[in-house]
Amino acid sequence: PTRITDELGIALSNLADSATGVLTPTLRLGVTGLSRAGKTIFITALVHNLLTQGRLPGFAPLAEGRFIGARLAEYPDATIPRFAYEQHLAALTANPPVWPESTRRISQLRLVLRYQSAKWWSGMAGPATLNLDIVDYPGEWLLDLPLLGLSFAEWSADALARARLPGHADEAGEFLAALEGTDMLAPASDPEAERLAAAFTAYLRRSREHGALSTLPPGRFLLPGDLEGSPALTFAPLPPPAGPVRRSSLHAMLENRYEAYKDRIVRPFFRDHFARLDRQVVLVDTLRALNAGPAAVSDLETALTAVLACFRQGEANMLLRPFSRRIDRILFAATKADHVHHTSHDRLEAILNRLVANAARRARFAGAQTRSMAIAGIRATGEGTIREHGETLPTLIGTPLAGEVLDGASYDGSTEIALFPGDLPERPDSLFENGTPVALNFLRFAPPARLERNAAGDPVLPHIRLDRALDYLIGDWMA
Ligand code: GDP
């Protein structure tokens, strides 16, 4: 849903990027996922491991002894917030450690990587440099991209049809009542617009608390970023007008705001950030969905398919294609893999693979590679075994966060426990066929305390398969 002017703008900025890229190649890596999927942890862990040359045996440049080092550099675009790496790391390495604040808006960070290429001529050329630009943004914002192709009337019809579904009465009742009681053809009034928008936002929030993810645009209503309280976010879907709509009416006011939201918020995000990525990692809290039951799993599948449909693969205008950037690799990562025993990691990967199957097929068709992995940016658990009823069960060892409750036991944040997390199904299809929920013992754990230190005195952050994820995402650019 781009206009030719957008395409031109994108092509020009990409051309500018390539011009500077002649001096130093720049790989733009997008990191996304729905709220609390693990973006902040993933990026913090990735950056820390690169800066301190952590344990990354699966990352070829390091394993082959070609990685020279990394440093943080100033981000070229001063208008975009910087990813608060230092703050996040400080939280994770505090005593006691705490989980840092999650992603609420877009932010970026530039790492400069120095390495020796493995190519035969590289001996003459000396060490090479790669700028790695990491762009962190809420997955909710991606769900807005389809709005670009919808008029106010079309979007309203979709949104109201959903709100009126029989199962949604609890969540949407107040909003629908507010609509009933409002005369849309009356003169525009800010308080009225705010009242409707507030009722609509409350409905979206409630629906998300009940586990819905997929059908909830506008994304900024849930994660406003810097737009909290801005008039750009005061609109709501309306039923078709009962009579002629005057330009000064409430209906016209909300319609204009919807159009402004698309033009001033959604389109620029797409053009300035999203359309300029080379690689993308989509983080998915698969375990939480599994634990919440079959409805959450199928909702997650719909959300991921919708998110992936937004990636621009192979649809550029013919003339501009040579200047277009394309996402050529997408990594789907099931995060928090440290919540299951390592013997379940392959199963977790298989389940994620099944969840993204539709989305991935489309991406591959358009020429992008995809892969699914189970990872933990930061590993908060160790492993052990317990014997129960004469059976040996694999367990996780960790400290549940204060307030966590399982099987009637509640935890105060200071007790280390051994927990049998349960098994994931061997065949992912079984999740979809008979809709039986997976009974996992799922607790949130505190970040690891008593971190080891490396020779330089830096803390070593334990992870699961972060090295392989990194190798897939950037390894070939450092070949
Ligand atoms: P986002 O930035 O909203 O995508 O999410 P965060 O990165 O802030 O993660 C949300 C929460 O999930 C964190 O506060 C942690 O409690 C948990 N979490 C994220 N990644 C991991 C991980 O690798 N292991 C464990 N055990 N918990 C994680």
ipTM given for this complex: 0.99
328 located within any domain: yes
Q: Output the residue whose Cα is nearest ligand 1's atom 21.
A: 336
108 located within any domain: yes
Read off the pLDDT of residues 217-239 as tens digits, 9 standing for 90 and up. 788 888 888 888 788 889 999 99
470 located within any domain: yes
- Residue 313 has a pLDDT of 45
| Predicted structure pTM score | 0.89
Domain ends where: 244, 264, 284? 264
Q: Output the residue whose Cα is nearest ligand 1's atom 3.
A: 36
Q: How far is the CA of 429 from the centre of ligand 1 (A)?
A: 27
Q: Output the residue whose Cα is nearest ligand 1's atom 15.
A: 99
Read off the pLDDT of residues 16-72 as tens digits, 9 standing for 90 and up. 666 665 578 899 999 999 889 999 999 999 999 999 999 999 999 999 999 999 999
- Residue 190 has a pLDDT of 93
Domain ends where: 237, 264, 291? 264
Domain ends where: 264, 297, 329? 264
Q: In what order do the strands lie in the sheet with 382-388?
A: 382-388, 391-398, 417-419
What is the C-alpha to C-alpha distance for residues 32 and 107, in angstroms, rounded to an integer? 11
233 located within any domain: yes
DSSP β-ladder status, 382-388 and 107-115: unpaired
Which residue range forms the structural domain that includes residue 409?
A: 382-433
447 located within any domain: no
Q: Both 316 and 259 in a single domain?
A: no
Q: What is the DSSP string of 462-475?
A: P-BSHHHHHHHHHG
Q: Output the residue whose Cα is nearest ligand 1's atom 19.
A: 38
Q: What is the DSSP string of 209-268?
A: HTT--TT---HHHH--GGGTT-GGG-----PPPSSPPPTTBHHHHHHHHHHHIIIIIIHH
Q: Both 118 and 34 in a single domain?
A: yes
Read off the pLDDT of residues 91-128 as tens digits, 9 standing for 90 and up. 999 999 999 999 989 999 999 999 998 876 666 678 89
Q: Both 300 and 394 in a single domain?
A: no
Exposure pattern of 171-204 as b/e (b: 16+ CB <10 Å)? bbeebbebbeebebeeebeeebbebbbebbbbbb
Q: Both 109 and 249 in a single domain?
A: no
Q: How far is the CA of 370 from the centre of ligand 1 (A)?
A: 23
Q: Both 108 and 168 in a single domain?
A: no
Which residue type is seen at 50? L
Q: Both 89 and 105 in a single domain?
A: yes
Exposure pattern of 25-37 as b/e (b: 16+ CB <10 Å)? bbbbbbbbbbbeb
Q: How far is the CA of 248 from the centre of ligand 1 (A)?
A: 47
What SS3 state is found at 75? coil
Residue 445: CB within 6 Å of ligand 1?
yes
Q: Output the residue whose Cα is nearest ligand 1's atom 17.
A: 38
438 located within any domain: no
Q: Both 160 and 286 in a single domain?
A: no
156 located within any domain: yes
Q: Both 186 and 259 in a single domain?
A: yes
Total domains present in the chain:
3
Exposure pattern of 454-478 as b/e (b: 16+ CB <10 Å)? eeeebbebbbbbbbbbbbbbbbebb
- Reference 282, options 42, 464, 14; nearest CA is 42
Q: Both 285 and 245 in a single domain?
A: no
Residue 171 has φ and ψ, to the nearest 5°, of: -75, -40
Which ligand 1 atom minimizes the distance to the CA of 381?
Answer: 26
455 located within any domain: no
Q: Which of 39, 41, 284 to mutate to test the pocket of ligand 1 (most atoms within 8 A of CB)?
A: 41
Q: Both 35 and 119 in a single domain?
A: yes
Q: Both 32 and 52 in a single domain?
A: yes
User: Taking a C-beta distance cutoff of 8 angstroms, is the pair 196, 174 a contact?
Assistant: no
Which ligand 1 atom minimizes the distance to the CA of 45?
Answer: 23
Q: How far is the CA of 400 from the centre of ligand 1 (A)?
A: 14
Residues near 191 by Cβ (< 8 Å), separated by ≥ 6? none
Q: Which of 46, 99, 142 to mutate to test the pocket of ligand 1 (most atoms within 8 A of CB)?
A: 99
The C-alpha R_g of the chain, in whole angstroms, comes to: 24
Which residue type is seen at 410? S
Q: Which of 36, 42, 464 to mutate to test the pocket of ligand 1 (most atoms within 8 A of CB)?
A: 36
DSSP 96: S
Q: Both 257 and 358 in a single domain?
A: no
